[in-house]
Amino acid sequence: MLKFTDDHEWLRVEGDVAVVGITNFAQNQLGDLVFVELPKVGAQVKKGDPAAVVESVKVASDVYAPIDGEIVEVNESIVKEPQIISSDPMGKGWFFKMKIGVPAQLEGLKNEAEYEALVASAH
């Protein structure tokens, strides 16, 4: 199951874990990415809290936790090579995996069609 936030994060649900990253729209808006700061494994995050930071040559931007949960894994490869996010934002460019704390929060997120409508209205 793929879900999206209004802040342009995506999450892919895999059992009781969600893989989280930023959308293609978000990475296009940021431009050339130069730095990524990831959360610590074991960190407890609440929906809407800044969980990671991504910096481009233009701007620094927070990546927010889309739901409550615990960080269980981070993608170290994007720290070494932030351009992976630009080339594959919804694949190899994921940021972190989190154990889903409140499954009901997934219901409040957008599906792909709803997210596409949000992006279309932003242009």
Could you read off the pLDDT of 11-50 as tens digits, one per residue? 999 999 999 999 999 999 999 999 999 999 999 999 999 9
**What are the CA-CA distances from residue 36 to residues 13, 58, 101, 103 (Å)?**
23, 14, 25, 27
State the fold for domain 2-101.
OB fold (Dihydrolipoamide Acetyltransferase, E2P) (2.40.50)
CA dihedral 97, 100, 101, 107 (to 10 degrees): 130
What value does the mean pLDDT of the chain take? 96
Question: CA 52, CA 50: separation in Å to the nearest integer?
Answer: 6
Question: CA 87, CA 68: separation in Å to the nearest integer?
Answer: 28
Q: The whole model's pTM is what?
A: 0.95
For residue 106 the two structure tokens come to 């997934």
The rounded radius of gyration (Å) of the Cα atoms in the chain is: 13
**pLDDT computed for residue 43 by the predictor:** 98
Segment 84-89 mean pLDDT: 96
Helix (H, G, I), strand (E, B) or coil at 99: strand
